Amino acid sequence: MELQSALEERVVQAVRDAKDELIGLTAELVACDTTARLPGDPARDEERLQRLLAARLEALGAEADVWEPEPTGAGDRFVPAGLDFVGRPQLAAGLPGSGGGRSILLNGHIDAVDVQPREQWLSDPFVLTERDGYLFGRGANDMKGGVAGLVIALEALHRQGVRLAGDVIFCTVTDEESSGAGGRAAVAHGVTADAGIAAEATDFDAWVSCRGTVTPTITVAGRAGHAEMPQPDWRDGGAVNAIEKLVAVINGMGALREEWKARPDHVHPLLAPGDIVPTIVHGGTWMVTIPASCAVTADIMYLPRHVDAEGTGKAVEAEVIDRLNKAVAGDPWFAEHPLQFAWSDDVVPAEMPADHPLVTCALNCAAALGHRGEPAGLNSWHDAATFTRAGTPTFSFGPDGIDTAHAVNERVSVGGLVDFSAAIALAVMRWCGVTS
């Protein structure tokens, strides 16, 4: 693949000339503490970061909308209970085209995971540091570097006097790392386009599909008693060790995982089969007391094909409940003390055609700069799924890979970030169209 015109050559050079600005903007974003939050956590620097981005986009002529969504209230299976957006606004900024072209969504999330263990970082995680051609800092890879690349791409187009036919919608959201609530709020606010790109670190692949997640906490009942005293049968009032009873549940999870690996409905060309992984266990209160209860939380990943007609993972939940109940059915204790299931929010997967024109466009633009990516899948989840399900087919596309995302000494390469920004500028031109 090659650049298609002298204008494209000038735009690519303009992005490369803006390398220091790209690094500088990434540093400003990294300096904002937007650590992913749980319900009840205080606001951090989310508003400062969004206002910073809004100001850059307004300087290009965009109309920026910075808003705090209303809480969804109790009973929303897609958003954690008690989550609010006070001090944590979303941003949507529209750059209108001259008309007649296709619109494009450029999306990113501004939250980043915590920096622990902080003492293992070689430099301050909130101070972007350049070493050996890489930029180090929390969010540099996932995905503040990508967000900065989107902005610099638009600024380069503006400086070169490029007049787009189609509209550009720039949207940055909160809460991708925890629940996807920010993306859902953006969709509810009316953010839409003909197609979109999310700036995750994909090593220039196009993540066109992803898995979703439902998360149960399963509580096993026991009966307390002195751990150092012989106990009668439970039917005669004896103690029952809830931790020991949990073993059948864990074994049931393992059996279901192995079944999913072999089942035809769990075969996907770009994704791993669904999975169920126990991740948290709580049980017992005292070292010499037989535990009266034990709870296990599991991370359950499911494929797009298992989303039900209502757009939920309820069918997956029902299968898991049925299988784990069967796993303990041979123990008469559970007939009188059944498993208790509590489900957190449902993070719903999606996929779009691997040969979608914007996918092909973005991959061709990267190839023109020496990066040959291909359609791929994300075995985790990303905000692109929310926009896709809402009618804006969206995939993730960005520099480097995610090998240092969420890790100590997170990094992104300078060269990769510059080329990503240039590829976005090219993709916007080719997708939206350019008028004279």
- What is the full DSSP assignment across 188-239? HHT---SEEEE----TT-EEEEE-EEE-EEEEEE-B-EETTS----GGGT--
User: Does residue 225 register a pLDDT over 80?
Assistant: yes
Mean residue pLDDT of the chain comes to: 96
Under the banding of pLDDT at 50, 70 and 90, the label for residue 59 is very high
pLDDT tens-digit readout, 226-237: 999 999 999 999
* Locus of tokens 């009188």: 336
What pLDDT, on the 0 to 100 scale, is given for residue 249? Answer: 98
What pLDDT, on the 0 to 100 scale, is given for residue 258? Answer: 98
User: Does residue 335 register a pLDDT over 80?
Assistant: yes
User: Does residue 37 register a pLDDT over 90?
Assistant: no
Under the banding of pLDDT at 50, 70 and 90, the label for residue 73 is low
* Cβ-proximal residues to 177 (8 Å cutoff; 6+ apart), any chain: 36, 109, 111, 112, 113
Candidates 308, 332, 320; CA nearest to 217 is 320
Bridge partners of 173, per DSSP, are: 109
Q: How many CB atoms lie within 10 A of CB 289?
A: 14
Bridge partners of 52, per DSSP, are: none
Q: State the DSSP string of 348-367.
A: ---B--TT-HHHHHHHHHHH
List the beta strands (DSSP E) in 33-100. 63-67, 90-95
Give catalytic residue positions.
Answer: 111, 176
Identity of the residue numbered 73: G
How far apart are alpha carbons 70 and 56 in whole angstroms?
A: 26
Instruction: Work out the average pLDDT over 181-198.
Output: 97
User: Does residue 72 register a pLDDT over 80?
Assistant: no
What pLDDT, on the 0 to 100 scale, is given for residue 286? Answer: 97
What pLDDT, on the 0 to 100 scale, is given for residue 81? Answer: 84
Q: What is the topology classification, in CATH, of domain 213-343? A: Alpha-Beta Plaits (3.30.70)
Under the banding of pLDDT at 50, 70 and 90, the label for residue 117 is very high
Instruction: Work out the average pLDDT over 351-359.
Output: 98
Percent of the chain clearing pLDDT 70 (strictly above): 99
The answer to whether residues 191 and 169 touch, using CB atoms and an 8 Å cutoff, is yes
Give the architecture (CATH level 2) of 6-211+349-435.
Answer: 3-Layer(aba) Sandwich (3.40)
Task: State the burial class of residue 297 (Cβ atoms within 10 Å of its Cβ: 0-12, 13-18, 19+).
Answer: middle
The answer to whether residues 91 and 64 touch, using CB atoms and an 8 Å cutoff, is yes
Peptide bond into 96 cis (omega under 30): no
The answer to whether residues 191 and 388 touch, using CB atoms and an 8 Å cutoff, is no
pLDDT tens-digit readout, 147-169: 999 999 999 999 999 999 999 99
Domains 6-211+349-435 and 213-343 share a fold: no
Q: State the DSSP string of 92-151.
A: EEEE--SSSSPPEEEEEE--B----SGGG-SS-TTS-EEETTEEESTTIIIIIHHHHHHH
Phi, psi of 94 (to 5 degrees): -105, 130
* Cβ-proximal residues to 158 (8 Å cutoff; 6+ apart), any chain: 60, 61
Helix (H) or strand (E) run with residue 14 in it:
helix 6-17
User: Does residue 98 register a pLDDT over 90?
Assistant: yes
User: Does residue 34 register a pLDDT over 90?
Assistant: yes
Candidates 267, 251, 340, 345; CA nearest to 306 is 267
Weakest-pLDDT range from 7-21, 68-82, 256-270, 350-364:
68-82
What pLDDT, on the 0 to 100 scale, is given for residue 136? Answer: 98
Instruction: Work out the average pLDDT over 197-218.
Output: 98
- Domain positions in the chain are 6-211+349-435, 213-343
Instruction: Work out the average pLDDT over 129-156.
Output: 98
Instruction: Work out the average pLDDT over 135-139.
Output: 98
